[in-house]
Amino acid sequence: MNTDKHGFLSACGMEAAPVGGRLRPRTGALRRRFAIGTACLLVSLAATVGSAQAQVLYMNAFDKAELEKVPDDMLVLDGGFVVKEEGGNKFLELPGSPLETFGVLFGPTEASGLAVSARIQGTGKGRRFPTFAVGLNGVGGFKLQIAPAKKLVELVKGEEVVGSAPFTWESGSWTVLRLQCRKVKDGEFKLEGKAWKQGEAEPKDWQISHAEAAESPAGRPSVWGMPFAGTPIRFDDLQVSRAAPRS
């Protein structure tokens, strides 16, 4: 970049006058530069807005949701999910009984190229702990779940654990889970997941990475709760976006 005075003035469409004189705009050049600059700015803003709109496909923080109900855009598979509020914060809550596995579907129906994330809170009771998860590809798809009794975060396909990593869960804390599925190339798809306690830094790298040769059937993202401790499980800040192109 030219940092001398004349170079700066020229870039701004001005020309230097003798000492003591006034700066004289080169009118034609100034108009042309202004028009070009404005056009570039508009294109940049349009690209930024378009990118942001394309990336986030679904978001629900329940701020405007009606209490004691489930938002209309969500499909409850089973369980007594309802919106609750505490301390001014609204969230989706699964009651502590019965002790089964319950889930909710939301967002777009796609086979790959999506990422799902959510904040989830549960509490332990004695030696009993809840298990909770986010999922992709519908009911029989992949789930990234916290298994406190095992001190693991696990990637589950259907009912089979296909990947795991150490994770120490803290009772009563909010845990953030993120799972994505992306196409690497023809005949190769990669599932990637990470989890961390709210308030701590997000892990830079994926904690779990698993390759699949075949694309999974299309399905909606999901959240899941298994209240084995007999205490409620809370879900908040559900989001679906385009998967990152690389890990």
At residue 51, the pLDDT reads 37
Kindly tell me if the per-residue pLDDT of 87 is higher than 60.
Answer: yes
- The span from the CA of 179 to the CA of 184, in Å, is 16
- The span from the CA of 80 to the CA of 41, in Å, is 50
At residue 106, the pLDDT reads 98
- The span from the CA of 60 to the CA of 55, in Å, is 15
Per-residue pLDDT of 94-113, as tens digits, reads 999 998 999 999 999 999 99
At residue 156, the pLDDT reads 98
Q: Which residue has the tokens 């023809």?
A: 186
Residue 88 gets the label, from left (phi > 0), alpha (psi -120 to 50) or beta, of left
pLDDT band per the 50, 70, 90 thresholds, residue 22:
very low
174 Cβ contact list (under 8 Å, min separation 6) = 119, 120, 121, 197, 198, 236
Strand partners, 226: 131
Give DSSP secondary structure letters for 181-201: EEEEETTEEEEEEEEEETTSP
Per-residue pLDDT of 131-186, as tens digits, reads 999 999 999 999 999 999 999 999 999 999 999 999 999 999 999 999 999 999 99
Per-residue pLDDT of 28-83, as tens digits, reads 554 555 444 444 433 333 333 333 344 899 999 999 999 999 999 999 999 999 99
At residue 245, the pLDDT reads 81
At residue 163, the pLDDT reads 98
